[in-house]
Amino acid sequence: MDNIPKITLNSGVMIPQFGFGVFQIPTEDTAAAVRTALTEGYRHIDTAQMYGNEREVGEGIRQSDVPREEVFITTKLANDRHGYDESITALRESLQRMGTEYVDLYLIHWPNPRADKYVETWRAFEKLAADGHTRSIGVSNFQPAGLDHLAAQTHTTPDVNQIELHPLFQQRELKRYHTEHGIATEAWSPIAQGAVLDDPLITELALRHGRSPAQVILRWHIQLGNIVFPKSSTSKRIKENINIFDFELAADEMAMIAKLDNGTRTGPDPKSFP
């Protein structure tokens, strides 16, 4: 699928704007799901140390016919591995589990303000990138205050901030901050874990375009410039979700979806988690 757009990160690394998330896919199903996704044309996998399925992600990639260098792999630092040396060791373990020499993107999964180690962790990330163990580095679940603090204390702007973002929780203010600072926005739980699929507007737009509600929402993300990686354990939906590059939502349809924002999160608030 070379019709998946790529976004150039501030490190110069290019990331496919669409990928596959593997959070909550049972370990025993992960390799097959990743293989299916790659067969269907996905070239970007989003995993994490805390998902417990990095080994199976690596197996799925090897079982596919797709060469490693054609797949963009993201993993994320576990919350209990913050710290300079610890986050370096944690990536080394991830690479061993996945059977790869590098990842394409390494993220601080949560800022973990109570541990207060994300600045030294970020310095380790800079070193890991300089040494080629990861091609790019970023954060997840950061607010402007944490990003400002990182900017004041370190030399590298995160390539991405991966945040909860979907029609019910559109994060306009944080996105504006990202744009001002050249940080790409990755949207986690892009279809709100299914919570927005029954919305009457989404259903109407789906009917109008002859698409599923999930396809309409994923297309909305793409047109907004968000990077998305919906999760599905189902082959049919894995195939359905990537099939969004041959239709377009009109400006008035985008504007109608913009009105669905009601501040509803499906996941934890980074201000109080973990």
How many angstroms separate the CA atoms of 117 and 77, rounded? 12
For residue 84, give both structure tokens. Answer: 């300079």
Using rule CB under 6 A, residue 142 touches ligand NDP: no
Using rule CB under 6 A, residue 230 touches ligand NDP: yes
Which residue, 1 or 130, has its beta carbon nearer to ligand NDP?
Answer: 1
Beta carbon of residue 47, minimum distance to ligand NDP (angstroms, whole number): 7
Using rule CB under 6 A, residue 190 touches ligand NDP: yes
* CB 103 within 8 Å of CB 74: yes
Piece of 8-16, 18-26, 118-126, 172-180 that binds ligand NDP (CB under 6 A): 18-26
Tell me the β-bridge partners of 108.
Answer: 77, 139
Beta carbon of residue 162, minimum distance to ligand NDP (angstroms, whole number): 5
Using rule CB under 6 A, residue 60 touches ligand NDP: no
Which residue, 46 or 65, has its beta carbon nearer to ligand NDP?
Answer: 46
Piece of 89-97, 147-155, 199-207, 225-233 that binds ligand NDP (CB under 6 A): 225-233
Piece of 35-43, 153-161, 186-194, 252-260 that binds ligand NDP (CB under 6 A): 186-194
Active site residues: 51
**Core vs surface per residue 137-152: b (16+ CB within 10 A) or e:** bbbbbbbeebbebbee
* Nearest residue to the partner ligand NDP, using Cβ: 21
**Interacting residues with ligand NDP between 66 and 125 (CB under 6 A):** 109
* CB 102 within 8 Å of CB 135: yes
Beta carbon of residue 231, minimum distance to ligand NDP (angstroms, whole number): 3
How many angstroms separate the CA atoms of 168 and 264, rounded? 6
Which residue, 11 or 213, has its beta carbon nearer to ligand NDP?
Answer: 213
Provide the CB-side half-sphere exposure for 187 (13 A, CA). Answer: 30
Using rule CB under 6 A, residue 231 touches ligand NDP: yes
Using rule CB under 6 A, residue 140 touches ligand NDP: yes
Using rule CB under 6 A, residue 188 touches ligand NDP: yes
* CB 228 within 8 Å of CB 187: yes
- Interacting residue ranges for ligand NDP, rule: CB under 6 A: 21-24, 46, 109, 140-141, 162, 188-194, 197, 212, 214, 229-234, 237, 240-241, 267
